[in-house]
């Protein structure tokens, strides 16, 4: 693994004063639980070694409320405040696998939430532009990722429906909230050959991968069903 691109776990063992103050400690117990989580996800069908390695390296308990730390390594979504959740680890792995991340990719993520998914994308060598409509979540994710010194993640407090037109085109776009229809504005921000991974549906969402084959030509692939928090318009100031 190219250590220049891949997030170096040694940075966490050499804990800085700031990390200690913030209670960011990764114990052997956490590491053990994380290893078992990775085994579980692999068993469910995720084969990409880079993704499994990233999930096995990144301490998920840093991204949850302290009260939920004990549950951080269960394969479940958990509350992160403001009625939002950190996605289930399997879902993170599933969406990341469909995205086919390559080193150096420019990726737009809609729904920063805790910043966990964005961190996984960065660990795979991507440049991540992540949008969140809830200011409080965007700010706390930004603070945590700075503390952890995970590189190449840019935070935007905005309505994700608009994307980031002035930074387009993106190689990949990942939507981590449940949409009710195809977002045309985001499709226009894809590079030719790039694709968007997005769950679409009312109560239950079908995972879609839509690839921009040519300027006006798109290919659509459908995958499994999931349940996401809703993709909502507008912003929420803290
Ligand atoms: N990727 C996140 C999980 C996100 S949950 C993680 O790794 O923790 C979905 C997130 O999408 C929520 O934080 C929600 O506030 C956000 N969201 C919903 N609609 C949005 C929109 N229009 N623009 C930006 N973010 C949105």
Q: Which of 65, 128, 129, 133 to mutate to test the pocket of ligand 1 (most atoms within 8 A of CB)?
A: 133
Please give the pLDDT value at position 66: 79
Is 87 catalytic? The answer is: yes
Given CATH 3.40.50.150, say whether it is the number of domain 18-226: yes
- 113-148, pLDDT tens digit by residue? 999 999 999 999 999 999 999 999 999 999 999 999
Task: At 104, give phi and psi (nearest 5°).
Answer: 90, -5
* pTM recorded for the entire structure: 0.95
Domain boundaries in the chain? 18-226
Which is nearest to 96 in space by CA: 77, 116, 71?
Answer: 116
Q: Is any ligand 1 atom within 6 A of the Cβ of residue 229?
A: yes
Q: Is any ligand 1 atom within 6 A of the Cβ of residue 114?
A: yes
* CA distances in angstroms from 43 to 36, 37, 171, 230, listed in the order given: 11, 10, 29, 28
- 8-58, pLDDT tens digit by residue? 555 544 566 667 667 788 889 999 999 999 999 999 999 999 999 999 999
């Amino acid at each position: 693994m190219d250590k220049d691109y891949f997030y170096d776990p040694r940075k966490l063992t050499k804990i800085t004063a700031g990390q200690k103050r913030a209670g960011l400690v990764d114990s052997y117990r956490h590491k053990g639980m994380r290893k078992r989580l990775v085994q579980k996800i692999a068993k469910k069908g995720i084969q990409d070694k880079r993704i499994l390695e990233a999930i096995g390296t990144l301490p998920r308990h840093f991204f949850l409320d302290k009260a939920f730390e004990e549950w951080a390594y269960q394969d479940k979504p958990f509350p992160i405040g403001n009625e939002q959740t950190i996605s289930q680890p399997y879902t993170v792995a599933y969406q990341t696998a469909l995205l086919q991340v390559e080193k150096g990719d420019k990726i737009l993520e809609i729904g920063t939430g805790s910043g966990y998914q964005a961190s996984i994308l960065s660990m795979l060598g991507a440049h991540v532009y992540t949008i969140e409509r809830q200011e409080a979540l965007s700010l706390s994710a930004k603070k945590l990722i700075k503390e952890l010194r995970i590189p190449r993640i840019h935070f935007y407090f905005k309505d994700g429906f608009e994307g980031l037109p002035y930074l387009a085109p993106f190689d990949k776009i990942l939507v981590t909230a449940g949409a009710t229809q195809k977002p045309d504005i985001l499709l226009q921000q894809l590079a030719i050959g790039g694709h968007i991974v997005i769950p679409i549906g009312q109560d239950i969402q079908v995972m879609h991968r839509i690839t921009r084959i040519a300027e006006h030509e798109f290919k659509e692939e459908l995958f499994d069903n999931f349940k996401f928090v809703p993709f909502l318009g507008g912003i929420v100031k803290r």
